[in-house]
Structure 1
């Protein structure tokens, strides 16, 4: 969920193929830092919840919370779903 400066919220649903197609290399350096992740596991399912800060060329671009749904398949953890919030105000400094 993304919150615009005027307080309105946008919810988008994107297929994996569309999301991956939108990732194009360029001259910018992107980095996402997860802070204080919480991990809950029950058998072969898990959830990871963590605040994050996303930077472009070392400058904070936005922040929010990431949520990953995970499943263990043949002994390996795989991401089933990713949900995140996004805001450009109130982000912690790098």
Structure 2
């Protein structure tokens, strides 16, 4: 009986805590994500730097020939090479889920990535953000690379 009461009490406590922000902070959070991707698509490190932290980390996950490949790199490493080469990028996301608690936020969204005008892959983007001095900053991004899982029409 005590176990059931504890479970009911825990459930009631969780229901009283909103998982999604109920104010306009979602717009500010998504603005930072949008600017980060604009900086990527325009190969502009200043735009990315304005909405991210210097010590941010990227982590990617993909399967290739049945083998799991996990790759880590820093924002600084990416920003230092973003203008190299003539490749063009176009990354877009849709149907984001935004979770907020205090000054911490997560954005989870499906995305597609085109390289030189041709679809390279799709997957899930997860952006981690922290509100620093009143501005939402991207502190980390995790994403999947799924070349064979792109939805039609996206």
Whole-angstrom CA distance in 2 between matches of 1:89 and 1:80: 28
Q: Which residue of 2 aligns with 1:19?
A: 78
Q: Secondary structure at the match of 2:145?
A: coil
Unaligned runs of 5+ in 2: 1-60
Unaligned runs of 5+ in 1: none
Whole-angstrom CA distance in 1 between matches of 2:85 and 2:74: 22
Deviates more, 1:34-43 or 1:20-29: 20-29
Offset, 1:11: 0.7
Q: Which residue of 2 aligns with 1:70?
A: 129
RMSD over equivalenced CA pairs, Å: 1.6
Whole-angstrom CA distance in 1 between matches of 2:116 and 2:151: 16
Q: Which residue of 1 aligns with 2:112?
A: 53
TM superposition score normalised by structure 2: 0.55
Whole-angstrom CA distance in 2 between matches of 1:64 and 1:38: 14
Whole-angstrom CA distance in 2 between matches of 1:41 and 1:66: 16
TM superposition score normalised by structure 1: 0.86
Which structure has the highest helix share of the two? 2
The number of residue pairs the alignment matches comes to: 93
